[in-house]
């Protein structure tokens, strides 16, 4: 592959991944907001169970990195990296 083609490919891939990651973060925020019924900024285990959020339920202990009993957008995003 010619150097210009490699550069264009890399640039295109970077833009694509940026869009995908931005959409993922946006989707995480929307999902957390929908599950957070008491509007305290995080999803408790009971809220996750009520919303049938199996990924959060199954990984709650790992996701709740500060062990405050709720999972926030930033904790989910950190776990995704």
Per-residue tens of pLDDT for the chain, all 81 residues: 567 778 877 777 666 655 555 557 778 898 999 999 999 999 999 999 999 999 899 999 999 999 999 999 999 988 988
d(CA 23, CA 1): 31
Protein fold of 3-80: Recoverin; domain 1 (1.10.238)
What's the pLDDT score for residue 81?
80
What's the pLDDT score for residue 11?
73
What's the pLDDT score for residue 7?
83
Phi, psi of 24, rounded to the nearest 5 degrees: -65, -45
Q: Where are the domains of the chain?
A: 3-80
Nearest 10 degrees: Cα torsion 46, 52, 53, 54: 100
């Amino acid at each position: 592959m010619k150097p210009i083609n490699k550069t264009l490919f890399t640039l295109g891939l970077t833009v694509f991944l940026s869009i995908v990651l931005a959409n993922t973060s946006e989707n995480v925020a929307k999902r957390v907001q929908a599950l957070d019924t008491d509007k305290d900024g995080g999803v408790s285990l009971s809220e996750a169970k009520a919303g049938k959020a199996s990924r959060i339920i199954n990984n709650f202990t790992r996701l709740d990195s500060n062990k405050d009993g709720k999972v926030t957008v930033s904790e989910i995003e950190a776990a995704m990296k």
